[in-house]
Amino acid sequence: MNIKELLKAKKCNCGMEHSCDIKEIIIESGGISKIHGLLTEYNSIVLVADKNTYAVCGNDVSKQLGEKLESTHIFECDGFLIPNEKAIEELNGKLTEKTDLIIGIGSGVIQDLCKYVSFNLQMPYFIVATAPSMDGYASKGAAMIIGNIKVTYNAHVPKAIIADTAILKDAPMDMIKSGYGDVLGKFSCLNDWKLSSVINNEFLCEYVYDLTYEMLERTKDLGEQLLARNEEAIKTLMEALVGVGIAMAYVGNSRPASGSEHHLSHFFEIVGILKNEPYFMHGTDVAYSAVYTQKLREELLKIDVPSNSKRLSREAWEADIRKIYLDAAEGVIELQNKIKMYDKQDINICREKWTEIKSVLSEAPSVEDMKKYLESVELDITEFEKMYGEKKINDAIWYAKDLKDRYSVLWLHYFLNAR
Protein backbone atom coordinates (compact mmCIF):
# COMPACT_ATOMS: atom_id res chain seq x y z
CA MET A 1 0.00 0.00 0.00
CA ASN A 2 1.32 3.40 -0.96
CA ILE A 3 0.01 5.91 1.52
CA LYS A 4 0.52 8.83 -0.89
CA GLU A 5 -1.78 7.14 -3.40
CA LEU A 6 -4.57 7.55 -0.87
CA LEU A 7 -4.30 11.33 -1.14
CA LYS A 8 -5.66 11.29 -4.70
CA ALA A 9 -9.42 11.74 -4.97
CA LYS A 10 -11.32 8.78 -6.37
CA LYS A 11 -14.85 8.14 -7.54
CA CYS A 12 -16.18 5.10 -5.72
CA ASN A 13 -18.82 2.48 -6.47
CA CYS A 14 -20.62 3.57 -3.32
CA GLY A 15 -21.54 6.80 -5.08
CA MET A 16 -19.22 9.06 -3.14
CA GLU A 17 -16.11 10.75 -4.35
CA HIS A 18 -13.55 9.93 -1.65
CA SER A 19 -10.97 12.57 -0.98
CA CYS A 20 -8.79 13.91 1.75
CA ASP A 21 -7.43 17.45 2.15
CA ILE A 22 -3.99 16.42 3.40
CA LYS A 23 -1.32 17.64 0.97
CA GLU A 24 1.76 15.81 2.26
CA ILE A 25 2.42 12.68 4.26
CA ILE A 26 6.00 11.82 5.10
CA ILE A 27 6.51 8.54 6.98
CA GLU A 28 10.19 7.69 6.72
CA SER A 29 13.51 7.64 8.47
CA GLY A 30 14.87 11.18 8.68
CA GLY A 31 11.50 12.69 7.71
CA ILE A 32 12.03 15.82 9.83
CA SER A 33 14.72 17.09 7.45
CA LYS A 34 12.00 17.48 4.81
CA ILE A 35 9.92 20.02 6.76
CA HIS A 36 11.81 23.00 5.37
CA GLY A 37 10.70 22.09 1.85
CA LEU A 38 7.04 22.22 2.85
CA LEU A 39 7.05 25.82 4.05
CA THR A 40 7.16 27.94 0.88
CA GLU A 41 3.62 29.27 1.40
CA TYR A 42 4.14 30.25 5.04
CA ASN A 43 5.97 33.07 6.78
CA SER A 44 4.97 33.23 10.41
CA ILE A 45 4.75 29.91 12.17
CA VAL A 46 3.81 29.11 15.76
CA LEU A 47 5.34 25.91 17.05
CA VAL A 48 3.35 24.02 19.71
CA ALA A 49 4.53 21.20 21.93
CA ASP A 50 4.54 20.03 25.49
CA LYS A 51 7.62 19.62 27.64
CA ASN A 52 8.11 16.00 26.64
CA THR A 53 7.45 16.29 22.94
CA TYR A 54 9.60 19.39 22.64
CA ALA A 55 12.46 17.44 24.18
CA VAL A 56 12.06 14.75 21.51
CA CYS A 57 12.64 16.89 18.42
CA GLY A 58 11.69 20.51 19.15
CA ASN A 59 15.12 21.88 18.36
CA ASP A 60 15.38 19.95 15.11
CA VAL A 61 12.00 21.21 13.94
CA SER A 62 12.87 24.78 15.01
CA LYS A 63 15.98 24.68 12.85
CA GLN A 64 13.89 23.70 9.86
CA LEU A 65 11.72 26.80 10.33
CA GLY A 66 14.57 29.30 10.59
CA GLU A 67 13.31 32.89 10.46
CA LYS A 68 9.77 31.76 9.79
CA LEU A 69 9.42 30.74 13.43
CA GLU A 70 7.21 33.37 15.07
CA SER A 71 7.10 31.80 18.53
CA THR A 72 7.15 28.50 20.37
CA HIS A 73 4.54 27.50 22.92
CA ILE A 74 5.41 24.67 25.26
CA PHE A 75 2.58 23.41 27.48
CA GLU A 76 3.73 22.80 31.02
CA CYS A 77 1.83 19.89 32.49
CA ASP A 78 2.21 17.14 35.03
CA GLY A 79 0.73 13.90 33.81
CA PHE A 80 -1.71 14.09 30.89
CA LEU A 81 -2.34 17.40 29.15
CA ILE A 82 -6.14 17.73 28.90
CA PRO A 83 -7.56 19.31 25.72
CA ASN A 84 -10.05 21.49 27.58
CA GLU A 85 -11.16 25.13 27.65
CA LYS A 86 -8.06 26.20 29.58
CA ALA A 87 -5.63 24.68 27.07
CA ILE A 88 -7.55 26.22 24.15
CA GLU A 89 -7.34 29.66 25.72
CA GLU A 90 -3.64 29.23 26.37
CA LEU A 91 -2.93 28.33 22.76
CA ASN A 92 -5.16 31.04 21.32
CA GLY A 93 -3.21 33.55 23.40
CA LYS A 94 -0.02 32.68 21.54
CA LEU A 95 -1.35 33.33 18.04
CA THR A 96 -1.12 36.76 16.46
CA GLU A 97 -2.54 38.47 13.37
CA LYS A 98 0.63 37.50 11.55
CA THR A 99 0.46 33.77 12.31
CA ASP A 100 -0.21 31.80 9.13
CA LEU A 101 0.63 28.24 10.19
CA ILE A 102 0.60 26.16 13.38
CA ILE A 103 2.99 23.24 13.65
CA GLY A 104 2.26 20.85 16.49
CA ILE A 105 4.88 18.45 17.77
CA GLY A 106 3.31 15.52 19.58
CA SER A 107 0.64 12.90 19.33
CA GLY A 108 -2.97 12.76 20.54
CA VAL A 109 -3.63 15.80 22.68
CA ILE A 110 -1.28 18.29 21.01
CA GLN A 111 -2.76 17.23 17.70
CA ASP A 112 -6.35 17.66 18.90
CA LEU A 113 -5.61 21.10 20.33
CA CYS A 114 -3.83 22.32 17.20
CA LYS A 115 -6.59 20.92 15.03
CA TYR A 116 -9.39 22.49 17.05
CA VAL A 117 -7.79 25.92 17.46
CA SER A 118 -6.55 26.19 13.86
CA PHE A 119 -9.93 25.11 12.50
CA ASN A 120 -11.74 27.83 14.42
CA LEU A 121 -9.36 30.39 12.91
CA GLN A 122 -9.45 28.78 9.46
CA MET A 123 -5.69 28.47 9.60
CA PRO A 124 -3.70 25.46 8.35
CA TYR A 125 -1.63 23.25 10.64
CA PHE A 126 1.03 20.56 10.35
CA ILE A 127 1.67 17.79 12.79
CA VAL A 128 5.09 16.36 13.54
CA ALA A 129 4.39 12.99 15.11
CA THR A 130 6.38 11.88 18.13
CA ALA A 131 4.70 8.52 18.73
CA PRO A 132 2.68 5.96 16.74
CA SER A 133 0.12 6.07 19.53
CA MET A 134 -3.31 6.66 17.98
CA ASP A 135 -5.11 7.04 14.69
CA GLY A 136 -6.12 10.68 14.89
CA TYR A 137 -3.24 12.08 12.84
CA ALA A 138 -5.15 12.17 9.58
CA SER A 139 -8.65 12.51 10.94
CA LYS A 140 -10.91 15.54 10.91
CA GLY A 141 -12.18 14.86 14.38
CA ALA A 142 -10.76 16.85 17.27
CA ALA A 143 -11.41 14.96 20.50
CA MET A 144 -11.80 17.63 23.17
CA ILE A 145 -12.93 17.63 26.78
CA ILE A 146 -15.45 20.47 26.99
CA GLY A 147 -17.62 20.94 30.09
CA ASN A 148 -16.02 17.75 31.42
CA ILE A 149 -17.36 15.68 28.57
CA LYS A 150 -15.47 14.21 25.67
CA VAL A 151 -16.76 15.85 22.51
CA THR A 152 -15.39 15.03 19.08
CA TYR A 153 -15.69 18.08 16.85
CA ASN A 154 -15.66 17.83 13.12
CA ALA A 155 -12.69 20.08 12.38
CA HIS A 156 -10.11 19.68 9.62
CA VAL A 157 -7.12 17.54 8.66
CA PRO A 158 -3.52 18.77 8.81
CA LYS A 159 -1.95 20.07 5.60
CA ALA A 160 1.03 17.86 6.33
CA ILE A 161 1.87 14.90 8.56
CA ILE A 162 5.56 14.38 9.22
CA ALA A 163 6.45 11.09 10.89
CA ASP A 164 10.13 10.37 11.25
CA THR A 165 10.36 6.64 11.91
CA ALA A 166 13.80 7.03 13.48
CA ILE A 167 12.09 9.15 16.14
CA LEU A 168 8.89 7.10 16.39
CA LYS A 169 10.76 3.89 17.11
CA ASP A 170 12.16 5.44 20.29
CA ALA A 171 8.74 6.58 21.54
CA PRO A 172 7.73 5.35 25.00
CA MET A 173 6.76 1.67 24.66
CA ASP A 174 3.33 2.20 26.21
CA MET A 175 2.56 4.65 23.39
CA ILE A 176 3.63 2.14 20.74
CA LYS A 177 1.41 -0.46 22.42
CA SER A 178 -1.41 2.05 22.47
CA GLY A 179 -1.09 2.64 18.71
CA TYR A 180 -1.10 -1.08 18.06
CA GLY A 181 -4.16 -1.38 20.32
CA ASP A 182 -5.98 1.36 18.44
CA VAL A 183 -5.43 -0.61 15.21
CA LEU A 184 -6.55 -3.90 16.82
CA GLY A 185 -9.77 -2.17 17.86
CA LYS A 186 -10.72 -2.01 14.16
CA PHE A 187 -11.77 -5.67 14.34
CA SER A 188 -14.52 -4.54 16.67
CA CYS A 189 -15.53 -1.29 14.99
CA LEU A 190 -15.61 -2.70 11.47
CA ASN A 191 -17.89 -5.44 12.77
CA ASP A 192 -20.14 -2.80 14.34
CA TRP A 193 -20.29 -0.94 11.05
CA LYS A 194 -21.43 -4.06 9.22
CA LEU A 195 -23.90 -4.85 12.00
CA SER A 196 -25.48 -1.42 11.68
CA SER A 197 -25.62 -1.71 7.91
CA VAL A 198 -27.64 -4.92 8.37
CA ILE A 199 -29.90 -3.76 11.20
CA ASN A 200 -30.31 -0.08 10.34
CA ASN A 201 -29.40 0.00 6.67
CA GLU A 202 -26.64 2.40 7.60
CA PHE A 203 -24.40 3.45 4.70
CA LEU A 204 -21.32 1.22 4.35
CA CYS A 205 -18.68 1.75 1.69
CA GLU A 206 -17.09 -1.61 0.81
CA TYR A 207 -13.97 0.07 -0.49
CA VAL A 208 -13.34 2.00 2.73
CA TYR A 209 -14.24 -1.05 4.81
CA ASP A 210 -11.76 -3.23 2.87
CA LEU A 211 -9.07 -0.56 2.94
CA THR A 212 -9.28 -0.32 6.72
CA TYR A 213 -9.34 -4.09 7.05
CA GLU A 214 -6.24 -4.36 4.88
CA MET A 215 -4.30 -1.99 7.14
CA LEU A 216 -5.41 -4.01 10.13
CA GLU A 217 -4.26 -7.23 8.45
CA ARG A 218 -0.81 -5.80 7.71
CA THR A 219 -0.37 -4.73 11.32
CA LYS A 220 -2.02 -7.39 13.48
CA ASP A 221 0.93 -9.82 13.60
CA LEU A 222 3.65 -7.23 14.24
CA GLY A 223 3.39 -7.33 18.04
CA GLU A 224 6.78 -8.88 18.71
CA GLN A 225 8.59 -6.68 16.23
CA LEU A 226 7.00 -3.61 17.73
CA LEU A 227 8.22 -4.66 21.16
CA ALA A 228 11.69 -4.92 19.61
CA ARG A 229 11.28 -1.38 18.16
CA ASN A 230 11.88 -2.67 14.66
CA GLU A 231 11.77 0.45 12.47
CA GLU A 232 10.02 -1.26 9.53
CA ALA A 233 7.28 -2.55 11.85
CA ILE A 234 6.92 0.92 13.37
CA LYS A 235 6.58 2.34 9.86
CA THR A 236 3.81 -0.16 9.00
CA LEU A 237 2.02 0.67 12.25
CA MET A 238 2.24 4.39 11.56
CA GLU A 239 0.99 3.89 8.01
CA ALA A 240 -2.01 2.00 9.41
CA LEU A 241 -2.70 4.75 11.95
CA VAL A 242 -2.51 7.46 9.31
CA GLY A 243 -4.32 5.35 6.70
CA VAL A 244 -7.25 4.72 9.01
CA GLY A 245 -7.50 8.46 9.50
CA ILE A 246 -7.73 8.88 5.74
CA ALA A 247 -10.48 6.23 5.69
CA MET A 248 -12.41 8.43 8.12
CA ALA A 249 -11.88 11.49 5.93
CA TYR A 250 -13.16 9.45 2.97
CA VAL A 251 -16.57 8.89 4.54
CA GLY A 252 -16.66 12.16 6.47
CA ASN A 253 -16.94 10.60 9.93
CA SER A 254 -15.16 8.20 12.26
CA ARG A 255 -17.33 5.15 11.44
CA PRO A 256 -14.47 3.11 9.87
CA ALA A 257 -12.34 3.56 12.98
CA SER A 258 -14.55 3.86 16.02
CA GLY A 259 -17.31 1.65 17.39
CA SER A 260 -18.30 -0.04 20.63
CA GLU A 261 -14.68 -0.55 21.75
CA HIS A 262 -14.07 3.21 21.46
CA HIS A 263 -17.30 3.96 23.26
CA LEU A 264 -16.15 1.82 26.20
CA SER A 265 -12.76 3.51 26.22
CA HIS A 266 -14.38 6.96 26.12
CA PHE A 267 -16.52 5.89 29.06
CA PHE A 268 -13.43 4.99 31.13
CA GLU A 269 -11.74 8.23 30.16
CA ILE A 270 -14.72 10.48 30.86
CA VAL A 271 -15.66 8.81 34.13
CA GLY A 272 -11.97 8.81 35.05
CA ILE A 273 -11.78 12.56 34.54
CA LEU A 274 -15.10 13.20 36.34
CA LYS A 275 -14.24 11.06 39.35
CA ASN A 276 -10.51 11.50 39.35
CA GLU A 277 -9.94 7.80 38.76
CA PRO A 278 -7.14 6.30 36.66
CA TYR A 279 -7.57 5.14 33.08
CA PHE A 280 -5.34 3.61 30.41
CA MET A 281 -3.86 5.35 27.43
CA HIS A 282 -6.40 5.60 24.61
CA GLY A 283 -5.36 2.76 22.29
CA THR A 284 -4.56 0.42 25.17
CA ASP A 285 -8.03 1.00 26.58
CA VAL A 286 -9.47 0.42 23.12
CA ALA A 287 -7.66 -2.91 22.75
CA TYR A 288 -8.73 -4.15 26.18
CA SER A 289 -12.27 -2.92 25.52
CA ALA A 290 -12.31 -4.80 22.22
CA VAL A 291 -11.93 -8.04 24.16
CA TYR A 292 -15.07 -7.12 26.09
CA THR A 293 -17.10 -6.08 23.04
CA GLN A 294 -16.12 -9.44 21.56
CA LYS A 295 -17.47 -11.14 24.68
CA LEU A 296 -20.80 -9.45 23.96
CA ARG A 297 -20.81 -10.76 20.40
CA GLU A 298 -20.14 -14.26 21.66
CA GLU A 299 -22.96 -13.92 24.20
CA LEU A 300 -25.34 -12.75 21.49
CA LEU A 301 -24.34 -15.62 19.23
CA LYS A 302 -25.78 -18.02 21.83
CA ILE A 303 -29.28 -16.61 21.32
CA ASP A 304 -31.43 -18.81 19.09
CA VAL A 305 -34.40 -16.50 18.67
CA PRO A 306 -34.25 -12.97 20.04
CA SER A 307 -37.08 -12.17 22.39
CA ASN A 308 -38.18 -8.81 23.65
CA SER A 309 -36.55 -8.27 26.98
CA LYS A 310 -37.34 -6.12 29.96
CA ARG A 311 -36.69 -2.43 29.45
CA LEU A 312 -35.58 -0.05 32.16
CA SER A 313 -38.13 2.61 32.95
CA ARG A 314 -37.25 6.10 31.82
CA GLU A 315 -36.85 7.15 35.47
CA ALA A 316 -34.53 4.28 36.32
CA TRP A 317 -32.42 4.99 33.22
CA GLU A 318 -32.12 8.70 34.06
CA ALA A 319 -31.21 7.91 37.64
CA ASP A 320 -28.43 5.58 36.48
CA ILE A 321 -27.12 8.13 33.99
CA ARG A 322 -26.99 10.81 36.69
CA LYS A 323 -25.24 8.49 39.11
CA ILE A 324 -22.61 7.54 36.57
CA TYR A 325 -22.03 10.73 34.62
CA LEU A 326 -22.44 13.30 37.43
CA ASP A 327 -21.88 16.77 35.92
CA ALA A 328 -21.90 15.37 32.42
CA ALA A 329 -25.28 13.59 32.80
CA GLU A 330 -27.38 16.42 31.43
CA GLY A 331 -25.50 16.36 28.13
CA VAL A 332 -25.91 12.59 27.84
CA ILE A 333 -29.66 12.74 28.53
CA GLU A 334 -30.06 15.59 26.07
CA LEU A 335 -28.23 13.66 23.36
CA GLN A 336 -30.39 10.57 23.78
CA ASN A 337 -33.57 12.71 23.87
CA LYS A 338 -32.51 14.16 20.56
CA ILE A 339 -31.46 11.05 18.67
CA LYS A 340 -34.14 8.72 20.15
CA MET A 341 -31.96 5.65 19.73
CA TYR A 342 -34.00 3.80 22.36
CA ASP A 343 -37.21 4.25 20.36
CA LYS A 344 -35.53 2.96 17.22
CA GLN A 345 -34.71 -0.49 18.61
CA ASP A 346 -37.00 -2.96 16.86
CA ILE A 347 -37.33 -6.58 17.92
CA ASN A 348 -39.04 -7.52 14.65
CA ILE A 349 -36.01 -6.46 12.63
CA CYS A 350 -33.77 -8.47 14.94
CA ARG A 351 -35.96 -11.54 14.48
CA GLU A 352 -36.29 -11.17 10.73
CA LYS A 353 -32.59 -10.67 10.20
CA TRP A 354 -31.26 -12.85 13.01
CA THR A 355 -29.41 -15.30 10.72
CA GLU A 356 -27.72 -12.45 8.90
CA ILE A 357 -26.95 -10.66 12.15
CA LYS A 358 -25.37 -13.79 13.58
CA SER A 359 -23.29 -14.28 10.49
CA VAL A 360 -21.89 -10.74 10.86
CA LEU A 361 -21.24 -11.21 14.58
CA SER A 362 -19.39 -14.45 13.93
CA GLU A 363 -16.90 -12.76 11.57
CA ALA A 364 -14.93 -10.97 14.31
CA PRO A 365 -11.92 -12.73 15.89
CA SER A 366 -12.74 -14.66 19.07
CA VAL A 367 -12.04 -13.46 22.60
CA GLU A 368 -9.15 -15.92 22.73
CA ASP A 369 -7.65 -14.58 19.49
CA MET A 370 -7.99 -11.01 20.72
CA LYS A 371 -6.21 -11.92 23.93
CA LYS A 372 -3.38 -13.45 21.90
CA TYR A 373 -2.91 -10.26 19.93
CA LEU A 374 -2.80 -8.33 23.20
CA GLU A 375 -0.28 -10.76 24.65
CA SER A 376 1.96 -10.28 21.62
CA VAL A 377 2.70 -6.79 22.99
CA GLU A 378 2.59 -7.91 26.60
CA LEU A 379 -0.81 -6.47 27.40
CA ASP A 380 -2.62 -8.59 29.95
CA ILE A 381 -6.40 -8.31 30.17
CA THR A 382 -6.28 -8.93 33.92
CA GLU A 383 -4.57 -5.51 34.26
CA PHE A 384 -7.71 -3.99 32.75
CA GLU A 385 -9.94 -5.95 35.10
CA LYS A 386 -7.84 -4.94 38.08
CA MET A 387 -7.85 -1.27 37.10
CA TYR A 388 -11.60 -0.90 36.55
CA GLY A 389 -13.26 -3.75 38.45
CA GLU A 390 -16.39 -5.64 37.47
CA LYS A 391 -18.90 -2.94 38.36
CA LYS A 392 -17.27 -0.22 36.31
CA ILE A 393 -16.81 -2.52 33.33
CA ASN A 394 -20.48 -3.49 33.54
CA ASP A 395 -21.54 0.14 33.80
CA ALA A 396 -19.51 0.83 30.66
CA ILE A 397 -21.15 -2.05 28.82
CA TRP A 398 -24.61 -0.74 29.70
CA TYR A 399 -24.09 3.00 29.51
CA ALA A 400 -21.14 3.87 27.26
CA LYS A 401 -23.51 3.67 24.30
CA ASP A 402 -25.44 6.66 25.69
CA LEU A 403 -22.46 8.94 25.13
CA LYS A 404 -22.76 8.55 21.37
CA ASP A 405 -25.14 8.83 18.49
CA ARG A 406 -23.76 5.70 16.86
CA TYR A 407 -25.17 2.18 16.71
CA SER A 408 -22.93 -0.68 17.82
CA VAL A 409 -23.06 -4.10 19.41
CA LEU A 410 -23.58 -2.30 22.74
CA TRP A 411 -27.10 -1.35 21.61
CA LEU A 412 -27.96 -4.81 20.39
CA HIS A 413 -26.63 -6.34 23.59
CA TYR A 414 -28.53 -3.86 25.74
CA PHE A 415 -31.71 -4.31 23.79
CA LEU A 416 -31.68 -8.10 23.91
CA ASN A 417 -30.33 -8.49 27.42
CA ALA A 418 -31.53 -5.37 29.20
CA ARG A 419 -31.74 -5.64 32.93
Q: Summarize as ranges the residues that interact with Zn ion (CB under 5 A).
A: 12, 14, 16, 182, 205, 207
Shortest Cβ 12–Zn ion spacing (Å): 3
Taking the least distance from each CB to Zn ion, the nearer of 156 and 282 is 282
Taking the least distance from each CB to Zn ion, the nearer of 124 and 256 is 256
Question: In whole angstroms, how far apart are CA 63 and each of 47, 67, 69, 121, 201?
Answer: 12, 9, 9, 26, 52
Contact 88, 116 (CB under 8 A): yes
Taking the least distance from each CB to Zn ion, the nearer of 12 and 146 is 12
Taking the least distance from each CB to Zn ion, the nearer of 12 and 74 is 12
Taking the least distance from each CB to Zn ion, the nearer of 64 and 107 is 107
- Strand, coil or helix: 28: strand
Shortest Cβ 115–Zn ion spacing (Å): 15
Shortest Cβ 416–Zn ion spacing (Å): 27
DSSP letter for each residue of 36-76:
GGG-TT-S-EEEEEEHHHHHHHHHHHHHHHGGGEEEEEEE-
Taking the least distance from each CB to Zn ion, the nearer of 182 and 192 is 182
Strand partners, 75: 50
Put residue 122 in one of left, alpha, beta given phi > 0 → left and psi -120 to 50 → alpha.
Answer: left
Shortest Cβ 68–Zn ion spacing (Å): 33
Taking the least distance from each CB to Zn ion, the nearer of 207 and 213 is 207
Question: In whole angstroms, how far apart are CA 146 and each of 35, 81, 88, 104?
Answer: 32, 14, 10, 21
Residues 6+ apart with CB under 8 A from 347: 306, 307, 308, 415
Shortest Cβ 2–Zn ion spacing (Å): 19
Q: 146-169 burial string, b = 16+ CB within 10 Å, else e?
A: eeebbebeebbbbbbbbbbbebbb
Amino acid at residue number 92: N
**C-beta neighbour count of 56 within 10 angstroms:** 21
Total H helices, total E strands in the chain:
19, 10
Taking the least distance from each CB to Zn ion, the nearer of 38 and 189 is 189
Taking the least distance from each CB to Zn ion, the nearer of 61 and 409 is 409
Shortest Cβ 109–Zn ion spacing (Å): 13
> Which of 344, 365, 352 shows the shortest CA–CA distance to 414?
344
Shortest Cβ 261–Zn ion spacing (Å): 9
Shortest Cβ 160–Zn ion spacing (Å): 21
> Which of 370, 357, 182 shows the shortest CA–CA distance to 280?
182
Taking the least distance from each CB to Zn ion, the nearer of 61 and 194 is 194
Shortest Cβ 401–Zn ion spacing (Å): 17
Contact 203, 197 (CB under 8 A): yes
Shortest Cβ 241–Zn ion spacing (Å): 9
DSSP letter for each residue of 286-315:
HHHHHHHHHHHHHHHTT-SS--------HH
Amino acid at residue number 155: A
- Which helix (H) or strand (E) element contains residue 141? strand 141-146
**C-beta neighbour count of 354 within 10 angstroms:** 15
Taking the least distance from each CB to Zn ion, the nearer of 107 and 345 is 107
